Chains A and B, each alone.
Chain A
Amino acid sequence: MVNVHVYITLKEGVLDPQGHAVQNSLTALGYEEVEKVNVGKWLRLEVADGNNLDSRVENMCEQLLANPVIENYTYHVEREAKV
């Protein structure tokens, strides 16, 4: 079993109203050094390890987890260290 961490964010150039609101709030709290905030989603999938893990995960992202019209996705696979 591996953990697949999927991160979904709005594409560059797509206005992110949530990120904008969070950034304004940080500025109001005095964190003026924050120039941009993006709000996205994180999903953790517990997946049985297999040969075509990467292509399966990519398909999951394209088909359901992300909306390619406005969102990008990245993922990384976390394998537990063998004892």
Chain B
Amino acid sequence: MKAAVIVFPGSNCDTDMSYALSDFTDAETVDLVPYTAESVAEYDAIFLPGGFSYGDYLRSGAIARFAPVMQSVIAEAEQGKTVLGICNGFQILLEAGLLPGAMKRNKDLKYICRTVDVKVENADTRFSGEYEKGETLRIPIAHGEGNYECDGQTYETLKKNNRIVFTYEADVNGSTGQIAGITNEAGNVLGMMPHPERAMETLLGSEDGRRLFTSVYRHWRDTHVVTT
């Protein structure tokens, strides 16, 4: 698996994401790809990291969504390639229209930075295959605008089609349905606010994030490597 971690001006979780992939999966390559790159077509999986791309000016993700590399990211996503956005990466995917809904300021207007309980709602995706449905994960969140908003019809569609992959066990930020992570209709694009790449080592608090990356790797292996 060739993995690309996109680096926008203001990304700050790119290195953590890159370590998560290179230290915990058997990915053949993990490249930090600059936002100016013209194409990401050579990669099997594309990761949009957390941070404050373009200073979060206007709205989180609103300007990054038009970064040169995004045209190729959108094209690859539409062709079914694995695309994962974490935190600011999720906000960029929403702004790009690859996922439905939008982010608002957290309901209590505070930036929240702590480890929370995240429930696995759907363990039957390429991002969550190594988790158990209903399992509680300890994963850090770090955001000021993670209050997920969508209209009632969109919410019902997400629910009905099992596109809500992760929820918060408590109402931490006001998100509709306590949503922490969703996929697109085809299931190849996931956006989530919690930071699995910060939950890779028990020594540092939790290793519950590991299986997200190993799930992505396993899905790629199962669909691309012919076993003899």
Contact = CB atoms under 8 A, between A and B. Distances in A.
> Are A and B part of the same complex?
yes
Interface of A: 10, 14-15, 17-18, 21, 64-65, 67, 69-70
Contacts of A14: 104, 149
Contact of A69 (B63, B102, B109, B174): B102
A15 B174 contact: yes
Contacts of A70: 102, 104, 149
A44 to B, nearest CB: 14
Contacts of B2: none
User: Which of A21, A65, A70: most chain B CB closer than 10 A?
Assistant: A70
B102 A64 contact: no
B125 to A, nearest CB: 23
A21 B107 CA distance: 10
A45 B63 CA distance: 17
B101 A69 contact: yes
B58 A64 contact: yes
Given A64-B62, A64-B66, A17 B107 contact: yes
B106 interface: yes
A65 B174 contact: no
Interface of B: 58-59, 62-63, 66, 94-95, 100-102, 104-109, 147, 149-150, 174
B152 to A, nearest CB: 10
Contact of B109 (A10, A17, A64, A67): A17
Contact of A67 (B63, B95, B100): B95
Given A14-B149, A21-B109, 18 more contacts: A14-B104, A15-B107, A17-B106, A17-B107, A17-B109, A17-B147, A17-B174, A18-B105, A64-B58, A64-B63, A65-B58, A67-B59, A67-B102, A69-B94, A69-B100, A69-B101, A70-B102, A70-B104
29 contacts: A10-B104, A14-B104, A14-B149, A15-B104, A15-B107, A15-B174, A17-B104, A17-B105, A17-B106, A17-B107, A17-B108, A17-B174, A18-B109, A64-B58, A64-B62, A64-B63, A65-B58, A67-B59, A67-B62, A67-B95, A67-B102, A69-B94, A69-B100, A69-B101, A69-B149, A69-B150, A70-B102, A70-B104, A70-B149
A18 B102 CA distance: 16
Nearest to B100: A69
A64 B174 CA distance: 25
